[in-house]
Structure formats: structure tokens, C-alpha cells
């Protein structure tokens, strides 16, 4: 790695970069908690200052919200440097500065907003997801300018403040600012690598469509000693419905659910097969005794390349201390479908409603309320931008990256669709970094490699042929 563009810059800047990140992580920018709205705003101001220090010529904090309630969302940060000229490619870097809540606080080994370095790991909420990875990109831009005097590409940043609550206002912001955000390539640094010695890049994110289902079988709860055994029990109806969502092989039973699923390409399948997998360690990290899922599909396929239906909530009857001898009249459950290319929320949603109508007993009432949807995203592994990314990663890690599919759902599809640009992922967090959980941490060795790789990518993207 001695010939990498930012080696010298990184060596003289590590102490400052770590101190900067530590200061940012002290800001509890929890977007889900209205009590932390001021902290999210302070985090946006901090991010804006970093972008100015990196040499961006325009930096602006963007209010988010709806037409009916402008400014009701959490602030995003926009920055640009367009000195490369109209013939150079324009690249948009996306990330987020908001963080997850810290519950359960008792499971943290140190206060979540008092960062501490333990060995090679920086422990704090937001370290891996996503402030560390955002700073990685900002420092790469700052480093290239410091070493070369200018950037070879036009560079833009969009760092949002609502990703951890589902980016509810991002698409409105993208349409409103579409002209200013226009780019030839979008780079996202909010994902993981498989292991420190197994470089990889995400090529897709799953979509999502979810529902809150409510059931009613009687006017009110009934005495189980008088009515039990003769009247429908809403808890049993809900349990039976939940059970019927999957067959004995773990496949989702909605008719046509798999019709649009795009299978892995041979290159993707080979990459997944090459990723080391230790089932015992996988189970240990999850805290489970065994694995479930679609038969004949590997765990890596199940969490990224295959669609799922997860029951994320189930409630009926009495849940307090002791017992209440009733036949419940109402029940509810929540289900989230993760979708893969080329499934569409607008097809899966109606299919689920039809499935419910055919399985709910006659005389029982039900309602399925949608709770939002996101379409899946896929960047072909042979895309020219992907080849440039892989080359940059290989120079830093010493091995060509494997291709993985992200199991989560995020705003990436909207970014690619609204801006009409290919999207590539340079993520350096690791699967066991505990993002969204107590004791979130970031491996500093991955951070330093990430700065180097982001710098290589900035320089290499200058050769990208627009429209390729």
C-alpha cells in the first residue's frame, strides 16, 4: 500500500481525524427521539463545518419536511466542489449523521456518547453507522485536495439526518433539489464488509413493504368458561394466519410471491460461495440456538438475495400479571416483507391483501394498514463504475472484493431512481460492529483503510465515461 495517494496524508492526520470523530460522536443525534431534535441540528452544523474545512465551496444545511409542514423533518447537509469543470464526472456521496437510540442502556460497557478506544476499536453510538464512514469520505476529499491541490472530479455530498427513522422526507428533498443534486455516480458509505481480511462490496439493497393487520372476531372479549370452545378466538386466528405465511420449506405462501425474483448471476453466486461462513459464530453473534429459513438456500442468500416475510409483532388478549380467563375478541400482528430485484411493493402489497382475504375465517373482520414501502436496488456487477470501485478496494486490501447483497432496506433506491445515476457502495463497517445495538464500535484499521480507498476512488472516478 506504499504507493497509495493518501498514505502520507493519513499518517500525519490520524490523530486529528480520530479527535474529530470523537467530538462528533459526543453529539447524541438520535433522530427517533423528539427530545434530541436540537442534537440532530447540532450534528448537522458539525458536519457542515467539516465539509467547509475539507474545501467544499458551497455548504448548506437543508431543511426537510412536507409541503404541508415544511421544516418538520430533521436537517440534511449539502456540499459541493465543482472545480473540475463540466467535462469531468460529477459524483454524489451519500451518508447520514443521525444515530439509533441507545436502549438498553444497561448493556453498554461505557456511556454511548462518551467515545472510548479499546484496542483497535472506537466504541460509541454512531461510530460505524454512520458518522465514521461519512468522515472517511470527507477526509478522503480533504486529503486529495491537500496532496494534489484540487479534485479530478466534481464532488457533492448529501448527508441526511433521518436515515435511522426510514428517511421519510428524503425523496421529497431529492425531487425538490434534483437539479442541484444531479450526478453521474452516487457513492454510498453506509454498509459493511464481510471481514477485515475479506474485502467485499454490496451490490444491492432489498426493498420493503410492511403492514399492520388487525382482526376482530366478536364485539368484545368473552368469558372463557361460558363461551370457550364454541366461539372464534382472535388470538388463535392470528396465530394460524402467521403460521400459514410460510410452508414447511420456509417459503412464503403468497401466490406469485417468487415470480419476479431475479436469481443471482453466476459471478454473484460464486462470490457468495467464496465468503467464509462459520455457522456457530453466526449463531453466536445473533444469540440463537439454530437457524431457519428457505430450504436449499444458504444463509448468505437468505439474508440478501432472497425475499422474506417476517412477523415483527404479534399481540392479543391479556398480557398483565396473573391470568384473565377470556376468549380474546381482537388480535393484531405486523408483517414486513423484504423484497429483492425485480419484486415491486405495488404488486406484493395487493397480493398480501388477497391472501389475507382468502385465509381469514368467514365472519371475522380484518384490516391491513400499510406502514410504508421501499423498492429494491441492484447495481450490476459488471457496471463500469463497479469495476472502478473494485480496483480501488483491491489496491488497498490486497485482494479483489467479493460481491454481497445487503439484507436491509434504505433510501438507496430513491437516490438512484430520482437522480438517474448508478449507485455503488464503499462500506467498511464489519458485521459484528453492533450497529443498532449496545456497544456499537468501529474498527479503526477499517477506518484508515477506508480513507485510503475513498481517496483512490476519487482519483479513479475521473476516468469514468459519463453514460457508459
Helices (H) and strands (E) in the chain, counts: 14, 18
Instruction: Please name which of 78, 51, 53 lies closest in space to residue 63, comparing C-alpha atoms.
Output: 78
| 201 in the same domain as 252 | no
| 139 in the same domain as 219 | no
Question: Looking up cell 462490496, which residue turns up?
Answer: 201
> pLDDT, tens digit, for every residue of 415-463?
999 999 999 999 999 989 999 999 999 999 999 999 999 999 999 999 9
Question: Looking up cell 467544499, which residue turns up?
Answer: 56
> In angstroms, how far is the first alpha carbon of the chain from the final one?
29
Question: Of 373, 403, 430, which marks where a domain is finished?
Answer: 373
| Radius of gyration over every alpha carbon of the chain, rounded to an integer in angstroms | 24
Rounded CA gap, 265 and 263, in Å?
A: 6
Residue with the bigger pLDDT between 466 and 198: it is 198
**With bands split at pLDDT 50, 70 and 90, how would you rate the model's confidence at 1?**
low
| 357 in the same domain as 403 | no
- Asked whether the predicted pLDDT for residue 342 surpasses 80, the reply is yes
- Would residue 291 count as lying in a domain? no
Q: How many angstroms separate the Cα of 216 from the Cα of each of 122, 220, 225, 365?
A: 50, 9, 20, 5
pLDDT at 314: 97
- Asked whether the predicted pLDDT for residue 108 surpasses 70, the reply is yes
Mean per-residue pLDDT, 189-200: 94
| 425 in the same domain as 356 | no
Range of the domain at 345: 207-261+307-373
Rounded CA gap, 414 and 169, in Å?
A: 11
CATH of the domain at 321: 3.30.70.360
| 316 in the same domain as 172 | no
pLDDT at 286: 86
> pLDDT, tens digit, for every residue of 247-267?
999 999 999 999 999 999 999
| 233 in the same domain as 167 | no
CATH of the domain at 56: 3.40.630.10
| 225 in the same domain as 152 | no
| 157 in the same domain as 71 | yes
Question: Of 373, 393, 426, which marks where a domain is finished?
Answer: 373
> pLDDT, tens digit, for every residue of 34-88?
999 999 999 999 999 999 999 999 999 999 998 778 888 999 999 999 999 999 9
Question: Of 373, 389, 409, which marks where a domain is finished?
Answer: 373
What is the phi/psi pair of residue 363, to 5°? 95, -20
Q: Is 53 left (phi over 0), alpha (psi -120 to 50) or beta?
A: alpha
- Asked whether the predicted pLDDT for residue 243 surpasses 80, the reply is yes
- Asked whether the predicted pLDDT for residue 285 surpasses 90, the reply is no
> What pairs with residue 423 in β-bridges?
186
| 57 in the same domain as 33 | yes
- Would residue 458 count as lying in a domain? yes
Number of domains comprising the chain:
2
pLDDT at 372: 81
Please state, for a pLDDT cut of 90, what percent of the chain lies above it: 91
- Asked whether the predicted pLDDT for residue 102 surpasses 80, the reply is yes
**With bands split at pLDDT 50, 70 and 90, how would you rate the model's confidence at 466?**
confident
| 159 in the same domain as 193 | yes
Amino acid at each position: 500500500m506504499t504507493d497509495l495517494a493518501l498514505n502520507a496524508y493519513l499518517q500525519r492526520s490520524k490523530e486529528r481525524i480520530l479527535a474529530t470523530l470523537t467530538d462528533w460522536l459526543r453529539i447524541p443525534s438520535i433522530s427517533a427521539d423528539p427530545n434530541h431534535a436540537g442534537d440532530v441540528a447540532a450534528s448537522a452544523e458539525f458536519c457542515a463545518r467539516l465539509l467547509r474545512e475539507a474545501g467544499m465551496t458551497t455548504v448548506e444545511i437543508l431543511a426537510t419536511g412536507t409541503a404541508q409542514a415544511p421544516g418538520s423533518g430533521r436537517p440534511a447537509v449539502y456540499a459541493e466542489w465543482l472545480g473540475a469543470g463540466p467535462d469531468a464526472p460529477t459524483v454524489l456521496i451519500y451518508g447520514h449523521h443521525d444515530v439509533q437510540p441507545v436502549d438498553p442502556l444497561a448493556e453498554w460497557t461505557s456511556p454511548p456518547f462518551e467515545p472510548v478506544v479499546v484496542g483497535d476499536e472506537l466504541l460509541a453510538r454512531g461510530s460505524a453507522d454512520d458518522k465514521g464512514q461519512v468522515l472517511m469520505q470527507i477526509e478522503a476529499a480533504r486529503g486529495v485536495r491537500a496532496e494534489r491541490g484540487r479534485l479530478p472530479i466534481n464532488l457533492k455530498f448529501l448527508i441526511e439526518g433521518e436515515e435511522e427513522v426510514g428517511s421519510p422526507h428524503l425523496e421529497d428533498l431529492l425531487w425538490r433539489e434534483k437539479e442541484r443534486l444531479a450526478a453521474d455516480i452516487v457513492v454510498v458509505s453506509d454498509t459493511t464488509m464481510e471481514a477485515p481480511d475479506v474485502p467485499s462490496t454490496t451490490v444491492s439493497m432489498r426493498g420493503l413493504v410492511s403492514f399492520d393487520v388487525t382482526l376482530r372476531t366478536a364485539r368484545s372479549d368473552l368469558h372463557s368458561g361460558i363461551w370457550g370452545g364454541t366461539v372464534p378466538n382472535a388470538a388463535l386466528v392470528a396465530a394460524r394466519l402467521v403460521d400459514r405465511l410460510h410452508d414447511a420449506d420456509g417459503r412464503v405462501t403468497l401466490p406469485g410471491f417468487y415470480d419476479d425474483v431475479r436469481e443471482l448471476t453466476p459471478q454473484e453466486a460464486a462470490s457468495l460461495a467464496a465468503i467464509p461462513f462459520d455457522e456457530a459464530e453466526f449463531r453466536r453473534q445473533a444469540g440463537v440456538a439454530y437457524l431457519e429459513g428457505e430450504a436449499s438456500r444458504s444463509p448468505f442468500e437468505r439474508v440478501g438475495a432472497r425475499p422474506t416475510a417476517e412477523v415483527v409483532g404479534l399481540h392479543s388478549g391479556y398480557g398483565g400479571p396473573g391470568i384473565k380467563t377470556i376468549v380474546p375478541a381482537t388480535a393484531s400482528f405486523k408483517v414486513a416483507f423484504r423484497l429483492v430485484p425485480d419484486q415491486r411493493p405495488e404488486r406484493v402489497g395487493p397480493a398480501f391483501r388477497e391472501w389475507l382475504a382468502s385465509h381469514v375465517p368467514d365472519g371475522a373482520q380484518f384490516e391491513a394498514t400499510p406502514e410504508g414501502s421501499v423498492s429494491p436496488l441492484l447495481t450490476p456487477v459488471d457496471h463500469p463504475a463497479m469495476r472502478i470501485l473494485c480496483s480501488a478496494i483491491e489496491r488497498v486490501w490486497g485482494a479483489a472484493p467479493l460481491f454481497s447483497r445487503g439484507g436491509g432496506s434504505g433510501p438507496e433506491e430513491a437516490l438512484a431512481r430520482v437522480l438517474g445515476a448508478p449507485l455503488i457502495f464503499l462500506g467498511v463497517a464489519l458485521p459484528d460492529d453492533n450497529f443498532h445495538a449496545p456497544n456499537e464500535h468501529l474498527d479503526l484499521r477499517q477506518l484508515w483503510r477506508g480513507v485510503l480507498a475513498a481517496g483512490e476512488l476519487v482519483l479513479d472516478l475521473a476516468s469514468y465515461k459519463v453514460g457508459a
